[in-house]
Amino acid sequence: MARRTQGVSAGLDRERIAAVAVALVDRDGLERFGVRRLAEELGVDPMSIYHHLKGKAALLDAISEAVLAEVAGGEDDTSGSWEEITRATARRYREMAYRHPRVFPLLATRAQTSPVALTGLERMVSAMRAAGLPDQVVADAPLMLFGFLNGYLLAVLSGEPDGIGAVPAIDAAAYPTMATLMPLQAGFGSPAEFDRMLDTVLDGIRNRAARPDGPGPAQRVSS
Amino acid sequence: MARRTQGVSAGLDRERIAAVAVALVDRDGLERFGVRRLAEELGVDPMSIYHHLKGKAALLDAISEAVLAEVAGGEDDTSGSWEEITRATARRYREMAYRHPRVFPLLATRAQTSPVALTGLERMVSAMRAAGLPDQVVADAPLMLFGFLNGYLLAVLSGEPDGIGAVPAIDAAAYPTMATLMPLQAGFGSPAEFDRMLDTVLDGIRNRAARPDGPGPAQRVSS
DNA sequence: CTTCCAAAACCTACGTCGTAGGTTTCTGCT
DNA sequence: AGCAGAAACCTACGACGTAGGTTTTGGAAG
Protein backbone atom coordinates (compact mmCIF):
# COMPACT_ATOMS: atom_id res chain seq x y z
CA MET A 1 0.00 0.00 0.00
CA ALA A 2 2.06 2.81 1.35
CA ARG A 3 5.22 0.99 0.34
CA ARG A 4 7.97 2.97 -1.27
CA THR A 5 9.57 1.71 -4.40
CA GLN A 6 12.98 0.29 -3.74
CA GLY A 7 15.86 2.70 -3.57
CA VAL A 8 13.88 5.85 -2.92
CA SER A 9 14.30 7.28 0.54
CA ALA A 10 11.38 6.95 2.92
CA GLY A 11 12.93 9.48 5.26
CA LEU A 12 13.83 6.97 7.92
CA ASP A 13 16.37 7.83 10.54
CA ARG A 14 17.05 6.83 14.13
CA GLU A 15 15.20 9.82 15.51
CA ARG A 16 12.01 9.44 13.55
CA ILE A 17 11.93 5.69 14.11
CA ALA A 18 12.33 6.21 17.86
CA ALA A 19 9.57 8.82 17.98
CA VAL A 20 7.08 6.60 16.18
CA ALA A 21 8.14 3.63 18.31
CA VAL A 22 7.44 5.58 21.49
CA ALA A 23 4.00 6.55 20.21
CA LEU A 24 3.33 2.94 19.29
CA VAL A 25 4.30 1.60 22.72
CA ASP A 26 2.26 4.34 24.37
CA ARG A 27 -0.74 3.22 22.38
CA ASP A 28 -0.48 -0.58 22.29
CA GLY A 29 1.92 -1.49 25.09
CA LEU A 30 5.30 -3.19 25.20
CA GLU A 31 3.95 -6.69 24.69
CA ARG A 32 2.37 -5.89 21.36
CA PHE A 33 5.35 -3.87 20.19
CA GLY A 34 7.51 -5.39 17.50
CA VAL A 35 9.53 -4.66 14.41
CA ARG A 36 6.72 -5.61 12.06
CA ARG A 37 4.08 -3.45 13.69
CA LEU A 38 6.49 -0.53 13.83
CA ALA A 39 7.27 -0.97 10.15
CA GLU A 40 3.58 -0.93 9.28
CA GLU A 41 3.14 2.25 11.32
CA LEU A 42 6.01 3.80 9.39
CA GLY A 43 4.64 2.61 6.04
CA VAL A 44 7.82 0.72 5.42
CA ASP A 45 9.18 -2.81 5.06
CA PRO A 46 10.19 -4.37 8.38
CA MET A 47 13.73 -4.99 7.20
CA SER A 48 14.27 -1.35 6.32
CA ILE A 49 14.45 -0.56 10.01
CA TYR A 50 17.52 -2.75 10.34
CA HIS A 51 19.54 -0.29 8.28
CA HIS A 52 19.25 2.25 11.08
CA LEU A 53 18.98 0.08 14.19
CA LYS A 54 20.49 -3.37 14.21
CA GLY A 55 17.96 -5.47 16.05
CA LYS A 56 15.13 -5.22 18.49
CA ALA A 57 17.43 -4.57 21.44
CA ALA A 58 18.82 -1.45 19.76
CA LEU A 59 15.27 -0.39 19.07
CA LEU A 60 14.40 -0.62 22.75
CA ASP A 61 17.52 1.33 23.62
CA ALA A 62 16.46 4.08 21.22
CA ILE A 63 13.02 4.20 22.82
CA SER A 64 14.56 4.51 26.29
CA GLU A 65 16.85 7.27 25.17
CA ALA A 66 14.02 9.18 23.52
CA VAL A 67 11.82 9.32 26.61
CA LEU A 68 14.77 9.96 28.88
CA ALA A 69 15.61 13.02 26.81
CA GLU A 70 12.28 14.52 27.85
CA VAL A 71 13.47 14.68 31.44
CA ALA A 72 16.29 17.14 30.79
CA GLY A 73 15.47 20.44 32.53
CA GLY A 74 15.14 23.74 30.79
CA GLU A 75 17.66 25.62 32.90
CA ASP A 76 21.03 23.97 32.61
CA ASP A 77 22.84 26.52 34.76
CA THR A 78 24.25 25.42 38.09
CA SER A 79 21.97 27.48 40.31
CA GLY A 80 19.92 26.02 43.13
CA SER A 81 20.69 23.86 46.14
CA TRP A 82 21.20 20.15 45.64
CA GLU A 83 17.78 19.59 47.16
CA GLU A 84 16.10 21.86 44.65
CA ILE A 85 17.94 20.35 41.73
CA THR A 86 17.28 16.82 42.86
CA ARG A 87 13.65 17.40 43.66
CA ALA A 88 13.03 19.13 40.34
CA THR A 89 14.74 16.32 38.45
CA ALA A 90 12.74 13.70 40.31
CA ARG A 91 9.48 15.49 39.54
CA ARG A 92 10.30 15.76 35.86
CA TYR A 93 11.21 12.08 35.89
CA ARG A 94 7.84 11.29 37.43
CA GLU A 95 6.00 13.36 34.88
CA MET A 96 7.80 11.58 32.08
CA ALA A 97 6.82 8.25 33.61
CA TYR A 98 3.16 9.24 33.73
CA ARG A 99 3.35 10.46 30.16
CA HIS A 100 4.73 7.08 29.04
CA PRO A 101 3.56 4.50 31.55
CA ARG A 102 4.01 1.57 29.19
CA VAL A 103 7.48 2.63 28.14
CA PHE A 104 8.67 3.11 31.69
CA PRO A 105 9.42 -0.53 32.54
CA LEU A 106 12.14 -0.34 29.91
CA LEU A 107 13.93 2.41 31.80
CA ALA A 108 13.80 0.59 35.10
CA THR A 109 14.99 -2.67 33.61
CA ARG A 110 17.79 -1.58 31.31
CA ALA A 111 20.93 0.15 32.53
CA GLN A 112 21.02 3.76 31.39
CA THR A 113 24.40 4.96 30.15
CA SER A 114 23.38 7.41 27.45
CA PRO A 115 24.93 10.89 27.51
CA VAL A 116 21.63 12.55 28.34
CA ALA A 117 21.30 10.38 31.47
CA LEU A 118 24.85 10.95 32.59
CA THR A 119 24.63 14.71 32.08
CA GLY A 120 21.65 14.92 34.40
CA LEU A 121 23.42 12.85 37.04
CA GLU A 122 26.58 14.92 36.78
CA ARG A 123 24.59 18.06 37.53
CA MET A 124 23.05 16.43 40.58
CA VAL A 125 26.18 14.99 42.14
CA SER A 126 28.28 18.07 41.50
CA ALA A 127 25.71 20.17 43.35
CA MET A 128 25.79 17.73 46.24
CA ARG A 129 29.54 17.73 46.35
CA ALA A 130 29.67 21.53 46.20
CA ALA A 131 27.32 21.63 49.19
CA GLY A 132 29.84 19.63 51.17
CA LEU A 133 28.11 16.26 51.36
CA PRO A 134 30.54 13.43 52.12
CA ASP A 135 31.81 11.66 49.04
CA GLN A 136 30.37 8.28 49.95
CA VAL A 137 26.95 9.80 50.46
CA VAL A 138 27.13 11.55 47.10
CA ALA A 139 28.39 8.41 45.40
CA ASP A 140 25.46 6.44 46.80
CA ALA A 141 22.84 9.06 46.05
CA PRO A 142 22.05 8.36 42.38
CA LEU A 143 21.60 4.63 42.81
CA MET A 144 19.55 5.24 45.91
CA LEU A 145 17.34 7.95 44.42
CA PHE A 146 16.71 6.29 41.08
CA GLY A 147 16.40 2.95 42.75
CA PHE A 148 13.50 4.38 44.69
CA LEU A 149 12.07 6.31 41.75
CA ASN A 150 12.15 3.32 39.42
CA GLY A 151 10.68 0.88 41.90
CA TYR A 152 8.02 3.26 43.17
CA LEU A 153 6.91 4.41 39.74
CA LEU A 154 6.92 0.86 38.46
CA ALA A 155 4.58 -0.15 41.27
CA VAL A 156 2.31 2.83 40.86
CA LEU A 157 2.06 2.58 37.08
CA SER A 158 1.58 -1.19 36.80
CA GLY A 159 -2.12 -1.19 37.41
CA GLU A 160 -4.75 -0.19 34.95
CA PRO A 161 -4.27 -0.17 31.20
CA ASP A 162 -3.69 3.56 31.41
CA GLY A 163 -1.10 3.01 34.07
CA ILE A 164 -2.65 4.72 37.05
CA GLY A 165 -3.40 1.87 39.37
CA ALA A 166 -5.73 1.49 42.28
CA VAL A 167 -5.15 -0.57 45.39
CA PRO A 168 -6.94 -3.85 44.83
CA ALA A 169 -8.89 -4.25 48.08
CA ILE A 170 -7.58 -6.79 50.56
CA ASP A 171 -9.07 -9.28 52.98
CA ALA A 172 -9.79 -7.44 56.22
CA ALA A 173 -10.01 -10.60 58.34
CA ALA A 174 -6.67 -12.03 57.30
CA TYR A 175 -4.73 -8.75 57.32
CA PRO A 176 -6.30 -6.45 59.91
CA THR A 177 -3.58 -3.82 60.11
CA MET A 178 -3.29 -3.42 56.38
CA ALA A 179 -7.05 -3.18 56.08
CA THR A 180 -7.12 -0.46 58.72
CA LEU A 181 -4.51 1.54 56.85
CA MET A 182 -6.24 1.25 53.50
CA PRO A 183 -8.04 4.59 53.74
CA LEU A 184 -4.66 6.27 54.03
CA GLN A 185 -3.62 4.78 50.71
CA ALA A 186 -6.38 6.57 48.88
CA GLY A 187 -3.89 8.88 47.23
CA PHE A 188 -2.02 5.98 45.64
CA GLY A 189 -0.02 7.48 42.82
CA SER A 190 -0.91 11.06 43.67
CA PRO A 191 1.56 13.97 43.53
CA ALA A 192 1.19 14.43 47.29
CA GLU A 193 2.16 10.83 47.96
CA PHE A 194 5.11 11.15 45.64
CA ASP A 195 6.31 14.31 47.36
CA ARG A 196 5.99 12.71 50.79
CA MET A 197 8.12 9.76 49.79
CA LEU A 198 10.62 11.79 47.84
CA ASP A 199 11.08 14.05 50.86
CA THR A 200 11.63 11.01 53.03
CA VAL A 201 14.40 9.79 50.73
CA LEU A 202 16.04 13.21 50.60
CA ASP A 203 15.78 13.46 54.39
CA GLY A 204 17.54 10.12 54.61
CA ILE A 205 20.37 11.36 52.41
CA ARG A 206 20.69 14.64 54.31
CA ASN A 207 20.71 13.00 57.72
CA ARG A 208 23.22 10.43 56.61
CA ALA A 209 25.44 13.34 55.61
CA ALA A 210 25.38 14.51 59.22
CA ARG A 211 27.01 11.24 60.42
CA PRO A 212 28.79 10.01 57.31
CA ASP A 213 30.07 6.72 58.65
CA GLY A 214 28.02 6.26 61.75
CA PRO A 215 26.54 2.88 62.50
CA GLY A 216 22.96 2.21 61.65
CA PRO A 217 20.43 2.64 64.41
CA ALA A 218 20.38 -1.08 65.19
CA GLN A 219 23.20 -3.60 65.29
CA ARG A 220 25.55 -3.47 62.35
CA VAL A 221 27.66 -6.45 61.50
CA SER A 222 30.75 -5.38 59.62
CA SER A 223 30.30 -7.90 56.81
CA MET B 1 10.99 -39.52 23.41
CA ALA B 2 9.99 -38.99 27.00
CA ARG B 3 6.38 -38.48 25.95
CA ARG B 4 3.67 -40.09 27.99
CA THR B 5 0.94 -41.97 26.29
CA GLN B 6 -2.29 -40.05 26.25
CA GLY B 7 -4.44 -40.22 29.32
CA VAL B 8 -1.82 -41.40 31.76
CA SER B 9 -0.80 -38.83 34.33
CA ALA B 10 2.60 -37.24 33.98
CA GLY B 11 2.43 -35.90 37.51
CA LEU B 12 1.95 -32.31 36.47
CA ASP B 13 0.60 -29.80 38.93
CA ARG B 14 0.92 -26.07 39.47
CA GLU B 15 3.66 -26.48 42.05
CA ARG B 16 5.93 -28.75 40.07
CA ILE B 17 5.44 -26.71 36.91
CA ALA B 18 6.36 -23.52 38.76
CA ALA B 19 9.47 -25.10 40.29
CA VAL B 20 10.78 -26.29 36.93
CA ALA B 21 9.88 -22.95 35.35
CA VAL B 22 11.92 -21.09 37.97
CA ALA B 23 14.89 -23.36 37.32
CA LEU B 24 14.51 -22.81 33.59
CA VAL B 25 14.42 -19.03 33.88
CA ASP B 26 17.40 -19.14 36.23
CA ARG B 27 19.34 -21.08 33.63
CA ASP B 28 18.27 -19.50 30.32
CA GLY B 29 16.76 -16.14 31.22
CA LEU B 30 13.33 -14.62 30.80
CA GLU B 31 13.73 -13.89 27.10
CA ARG B 32 14.31 -17.52 26.19
CA PHE B 33 11.58 -18.76 28.49
CA GLY B 34 8.44 -20.06 26.89
CA VAL B 35 5.73 -22.66 27.09
CA ARG B 36 7.40 -24.96 24.60
CA ARG B 37 10.80 -24.96 26.26
CA LEU B 38 9.18 -25.54 29.63
CA ALA B 39 7.21 -28.45 28.22
CA GLU B 40 10.36 -30.02 26.83
CA GLU B 41 12.04 -29.63 30.21
CA LEU B 42 9.08 -31.37 31.81
CA GLY B 43 9.06 -34.12 29.19
CA VAL B 44 5.54 -33.19 28.25
CA ASP B 45 3.49 -31.79 25.41
CA PRO B 46 3.27 -27.97 25.45
CA MET B 47 -0.49 -28.02 25.56
CA SER B 48 -0.57 -30.18 28.68
CA ILE B 49 0.58 -27.21 30.70
CA TYR B 50 -2.59 -25.34 29.78
CA HIS B 51 -4.66 -27.75 31.87
CA HIS B 52 -3.00 -26.41 35.02
CA LEU B 53 -2.19 -22.80 34.09
CA LYS B 54 -4.26 -21.04 31.50
CA GLY B 55 -1.76 -19.07 29.51
CA LYS B 56 1.71 -17.62 29.72
CA ALA B 57 0.64 -14.79 32.03
CA ALA B 58 -0.58 -17.28 34.64
CA LEU B 59 2.72 -19.09 34.25
CA LEU B 60 4.65 -15.93 35.05
CA ASP B 61 2.40 -15.31 38.05
CA ALA B 62 3.17 -18.80 39.32
CA ILE B 63 6.90 -18.16 38.92
CA SER B 64 6.64 -14.89 40.87
CA GLU B 65 4.73 -16.55 43.64
CA ALA B 66 7.20 -19.41 43.89
CA VAL B 67 10.25 -17.22 44.39
CA LEU B 68 8.37 -14.85 46.67
CA ALA B 69 7.56 -17.78 48.93
CA GLU B 70 11.29 -18.20 49.57
CA VAL B 71 11.37 -14.85 51.33
CA ALA B 72 9.08 -15.84 54.17
CA GLY B 73 11.07 -15.85 57.40
CA GLY B 74 11.56 -18.85 59.63
CA GLU B 75 10.30 -17.23 62.81
CA ASP B 76 6.77 -16.08 62.35
CA ASP B 77 6.31 -14.87 65.91
CA THR B 78 5.84 -11.20 66.55
CA SER B 79 9.07 -10.59 68.42
CA GLY B 80 11.54 -7.90 67.42
CA SER B 81 11.36 -4.17 66.81
CA TRP B 82 9.93 -2.95 63.54
CA GLU B 83 13.46 -2.08 62.46
CA GLU B 84 14.69 -5.61 63.07
CA ILE B 85 11.74 -7.18 61.33
CA THR B 86 11.96 -4.82 58.37
CA ARG B 87 15.70 -5.14 58.00
CA ALA B 88 15.57 -8.92 58.19
CA THR B 89 12.80 -9.06 55.61
CA ALA B 90 14.69 -6.74 53.29
CA ARG B 91 17.83 -8.87 53.58
CA ARG B 92 15.94 -12.05 52.79
CA TYR B 93 14.36 -10.29 49.85
CA ARG B 94 17.80 -9.31 48.61
CA GLU B 95 19.11 -12.84 48.99
CA MET B 96 16.19 -14.17 47.02
CA ALA B 97 16.89 -11.64 44.28
CA TYR B 98 20.52 -12.72 44.07
CA ARG B 99 19.47 -16.35 43.97
CA HIS B 100 17.13 -15.65 41.04
CA PRO B 101 18.48 -12.57 39.26
CA ARG B 102 16.73 -13.36 35.99
CA VAL B 103 13.39 -13.98 37.65
CA PHE B 104 13.53 -10.80 39.68
CA PRO B 105 12.35 -8.35 36.98
CA LEU B 106 9.04 -10.19 37.09
CA LEU B 107 8.55 -9.30 40.74
CA ALA B 108 9.34 -5.65 40.24
CA THR B 109 7.11 -5.33 37.20
CA ARG B 110 4.00 -7.23 38.26
CA ALA B 111 1.85 -6.23 41.20
CA GLN B 112 2.13 -8.73 44.04
CA THR B 113 -1.12 -9.59 45.75
CA SER B 114 -0.54 -13.23 46.68
CA PRO B 115 -1.23 -14.29 50.27
CA VAL B 116 2.42 -14.95 50.97
CA ALA B 117 3.28 -11.36 50.03
CA LEU B 118 0.46 -9.85 52.06
CA THR B 119 1.30 -11.93 55.13
CA GLY B 120 4.85 -10.59 55.17
CA LEU B 121 3.62 -7.03 54.81
CA GLU B 122 1.05 -7.46 57.57
CA ARG B 123 3.77 -8.53 59.96
CA MET B 124 5.83 -5.48 59.08
CA VAL B 125 3.14 -2.84 59.33
CA SER B 126 1.63 -4.24 62.52
CA ALA B 127 5.05 -4.04 64.19
CA MET B 128 5.39 -0.43 63.06
CA ARG B 129 1.96 0.44 64.29
CA ALA B 130 2.58 -1.25 67.64
CA ALA B 131 5.74 0.85 67.99
CA GLY B 132 3.62 3.98 67.71
CA LEU B 133 4.59 5.20 64.26
CA PRO B 134 1.98 7.56 62.79
CA ASP B 135 -0.54 5.84 60.58
CA GLN B 136 0.35 7.75 57.44
CA VAL B 137 4.00 6.86 57.86
CA VAL B 138 3.13 3.19 58.31
CA ALA B 139 0.76 3.27 55.37
CA ASP B 140 3.50 4.71 53.17
CA ALA B 141 6.24 2.40 54.38
CA PRO B 142 5.63 -0.72 52.26
CA LEU B 143 5.41 1.13 48.96
CA MET B 144 8.43 3.18 49.91
CA LEU B 145 10.55 0.26 51.09
CA PHE B 146 9.72 -2.14 48.27
CA GLY B 147 9.86 0.68 45.79
CA PHE B 148 13.46 1.18 46.79
CA LEU B 149 14.23 -2.53 47.04
CA ASN B 150 12.80 -3.31 43.62
CA GLY B 151 14.44 -0.40 41.86
CA TYR B 152 17.80 -0.84 43.54
CA LEU B 153 17.97 -4.60 43.03
CA LEU B 154 16.81 -4.24 39.44
CA ALA B 155 19.66 -1.82 38.79
CA VAL B 156 22.25 -3.91 40.57
CA LEU B 157 21.24 -7.20 38.97
CA SER B 158 20.80 -5.96 35.40
CA GLY B 159 24.41 -6.17 34.42
CA GLU B 160 26.31 -9.32 33.65
CA PRO B 161 24.68 -12.53 32.50
CA ASP B 162 25.00 -13.80 36.04
CA GLY B 163 23.32 -10.68 37.30
CA ILE B 164 26.04 -9.11 39.38
CA GLY B 165 26.87 -6.04 37.39
CA ALA B 166 29.88 -3.78 37.30
CA VAL B 167 29.90 -0.04 36.73
CA PRO B 168 30.67 0.45 33.05
CA ALA B 169 33.43 3.10 33.19
CA ILE B 170 32.45 6.62 32.21
CA ASP B 171 34.07 9.49 30.37
CA ALA B 172 36.16 11.44 32.87
CA ALA B 173 36.37 14.59 30.73
CA ALA B 174 32.66 14.97 30.19
CA TYR B 175 31.56 14.02 33.71
CA PRO B 176 34.34 15.02 36.11
CA THR B 177 32.43 14.66 39.38
CA MET B 178 31.04 11.25 38.55
CA ALA B 179 34.48 10.11 37.44
CA THR B 180 35.97 11.27 40.74
CA LEU B 181 33.39 9.33 42.70
CA MET B 182 33.83 6.14 40.74
CA PRO B 183 36.29 4.55 43.20
CA LEU B 184 33.60 4.83 45.86
CA GLN B 185 31.27 2.73 43.76
CA ALA B 186 33.63 -0.23 43.83
CA GLY B 187 31.28 -2.12 46.11
CA PHE B 188 28.43 -1.92 43.60
CA GLY B 189 25.99 -4.61 44.60
CA SER B 190 27.85 -5.56 47.77
CA PRO B 191 26.13 -6.36 51.07
CA ALA B 192 27.75 -3.31 52.66
CA GLU B 193 26.33 -1.01 50.01
CA PHE B 194 22.91 -2.57 50.43
CA ASP B 195 23.02 -2.13 54.20
CA ARG B 196 24.08 1.51 53.84
CA MET B 197 21.17 2.31 51.58
CA LEU B 198 18.66 0.26 53.51
CA ASP B 199 19.67 2.08 56.68
CA THR B 200 19.22 5.39 54.92
CA VAL B 201 15.68 4.45 53.95
CA LEU B 202 14.85 3.24 57.44
CA ASP B 203 16.32 6.44 58.88
CA GLY B 204 14.09 8.40 56.58
CA ILE B 205 11.03 6.54 57.81
CA ARG B 206 12.02 6.91 61.46
CA ASN B 207 12.76 10.61 61.19
CA ARG B 208 9.54 11.25 59.36
CA ALA B 209 7.78 9.60 62.29
CA ALA B 210 9.24 12.28 64.54
CA ARG B 211 7.47 15.04 62.60
CA PRO B 212 4.54 13.22 60.99
CA ASP B 213 3.10 16.01 58.95
CA GLY B 214 5.88 18.53 58.93
CA PRO B 215 6.76 20.29 55.73
CA GLY B 216 9.66 19.05 53.70
CA PRO B 217 12.96 20.81 54.19
CA ALA B 218 12.47 23.02 51.16
CA GLN B 219 9.37 24.73 49.87
CA ARG B 220 6.27 22.58 49.76
CA VAL B 221 3.39 23.50 47.54
CA SER B 222 0.18 22.11 48.90
CA SER B 223 -0.88 20.48 45.62
C1' DC C 1 27.55 12.95 -20.31
C1' DT C 2 28.56 8.51 -18.91
C1' DT C 3 29.91 5.20 -15.35
C1' DC C 4 29.99 3.34 -11.04
C1' DC C 5 29.12 2.72 -6.08
C1' DA C 6 27.23 2.85 -1.74
C1' DA C 7 23.03 3.81 0.64
C1' DA C 8 18.41 2.75 1.43
C1' DA C 9 14.83 0.50 0.57
C1' DC C 10 12.57 -4.08 -0.64
C1' DC C 11 11.55 -9.41 -0.84
C1' DT C 12 11.96 -14.27 0.58
C1' DA C 13 12.43 -17.68 3.81
C1' DC C 14 13.39 -20.10 8.27
C1' DG C 15 12.73 -21.37 12.82
C1' DT C 16 10.17 -20.19 16.97
C1' DC C 17 6.45 -18.56 19.59
C1' DG C 18 1.52 -18.56 22.05
C1' DT C 19 -2.55 -20.86 21.82
C1' DA C 20 -7.39 -22.29 19.72
C1' DG C 21 -9.62 -26.48 18.84
C1' DG C 22 -10.09 -31.34 18.66
C1' DT C 23 -8.81 -36.29 19.93
C1' DT C 24 -7.37 -40.06 22.72
C1' DT C 25 -6.76 -42.59 26.84
C1' DC C 26 -7.05 -43.60 31.68
C1' DT C 27 -9.23 -43.35 36.43
C1' DG C 28 -12.84 -43.61 39.62
C1' DC C 29 -17.78 -43.53 40.64
C1' DT C 30 -22.03 -45.51 40.22
C1' DA D 1 -20.31 -52.78 33.17
C1' DG D 2 -20.74 -48.37 31.83
C1' DC D 3 -20.01 -43.68 31.85
C1' DA D 4 -18.12 -38.90 32.92
C1' DG D 5 -14.45 -36.09 33.47
C1' DA D 6 -9.59 -35.35 33.87
C1' DA D 7 -5.28 -35.28 31.79
C1' DA D 8 -2.62 -35.93 28.46
C1' DC D 9 -1.73 -35.63 23.29
C1' DC D 10 -1.80 -33.78 18.15
C1' DT D 11 -2.59 -30.37 14.47
C1' DA D 12 -2.66 -25.99 12.72
C1' DC D 13 -2.60 -20.85 12.39
C1' DG D 14 -0.93 -16.38 12.53
C1' DA D 15 2.73 -13.44 14.27
C1' DC D 16 7.38 -12.81 15.55
C1' DG D 17 12.79 -11.67 14.95
C1' DT D 18 16.03 -11.70 11.58
C1' DA D 19 19.63 -13.86 8.11
C1' DG D 20 20.60 -13.28 3.42
C1' DG D 21 19.92 -11.53 -1.11
C1' DT D 22 17.95 -8.10 -4.68
C1' DT D 23 16.57 -3.76 -6.65
C1' DT D 24 16.54 1.10 -7.19
C1' DT D 25 18.54 5.47 -6.89
C1' DG D 26 21.29 9.95 -6.09
C1' DG D 27 25.44 11.81 -6.53
C1' DA D 28 30.57 11.70 -7.19
C1' DA D 29 34.47 10.60 -10.51
C1' DG D 30 36.04 10.37 -14.89
Lowest mean pLDDT among A19-28, A148-157, A202-211, B23-32: A202-211
Q: Decide if B179 touches A, using CB distance below 8 A.
A: no
pTM: 0.89
Residue of A117, A105, A114 lying closest to A33 (CA atoms)? A105
The residue-averaged pLDDT of B6-12 equals 68
Q: CA nearest A214 in B: which residue?
A: B196
Per-residue pLDDT at B77 exceeds 70: no
Q: CA nearest B212 in A: which residue?
A: A196
CATH 1.10.287.610 fits A7-68, yes or no: no
What sign does the CA torsion over A59, A64, A65, A66 have? Answer: positive
Tens of pLDDT, residues A177-198? 999 999 999 899 999 999 999 9
State chain B's mean pLDDT as an integer. Answer: 87
Q: CA nearest B199 in A: which residue?
A: A216
The residue-averaged pLDDT of B26-48 equals 95
Largest CA distance in chain B: 71
Q: Of all helices (H) and strands (E), which one includes residue A150?
A: helix A135-157
| Chain B stretch 47-86, residues whose beta carbon is closer than 8 A to a beta carbon of chain A | 81, 83-84
| Chain A stretch 181-210, residues whose beta carbon is closer than 8 A to a beta carbon of chain B | 181, 184-185, 188, 191-193, 195-197, 199-208
Å between CA of A17 and C1' of D27:
25
Q: What is the pLDDT of residue B151?
A: 98
Per-residue pLDDT at B10 exceeds 70: no
Choice between B76 and B17, residue whose per-residue pLDDT is larger: B17
Tens of pLDDT, residues B99-149? 999 999 999 998 888 888 999 999 999 999 999 999 999 999 999 999 999
What percent of chain B has a predicted confidence (pLDDT) above 90?
A: 72
How sure is the predictor about A220, in pLDDT bands with cuts at 50, 70 and 90? very low
Contacts of A14 (CB under 8 A, 6+ apart): A52, A53, A62
Tens of pLDDT, residues B150-168? 999 999 998 754 444 456 6
Q: Is the CB of B47 under 7 A from strand C?
A: yes
* Cβ within 8 Å, pair A83-B199: no
Tens of pLDDT, residues B197-207? 999 999 999 99
Per-residue pLDDT at A63 exceeds 80: yes
Q: Domain A75-210: give its CATH code.
A: 1.10.357.10
- A35 exposed, middle or buried (CB, 10 Å; 0-12, 13-18, 19+)? middle
Q: What is the pLDDT of residue B221?
A: 42
Query: Which amino acid makes up residue B130?
Result: A
Å between CA of A81 and C1' of C7:
50
Q: Is the CB of B36 under 7 A from strand C?
A: yes
Cβ pairs A/B, distance under 8 A: 219
Q: What is the pLDDT of residue A7?
A: 59
Residue spans per domain, chain B? 7-68, 75-210
Q: What is the pLDDT of residue B171?
A: 87
Task: Judge if A7-68 and A75-210 fold alike in CATH terms.
Answer: no
Nearest-angstrom CA–CA distance, A65 and A18? 9
How sure is the predictor about A216, in pLDDT bands with cuts at 50, 70 and 90? very low
Judged by C1' against the alpha carbon of B4, the nearest nucleotide is D8
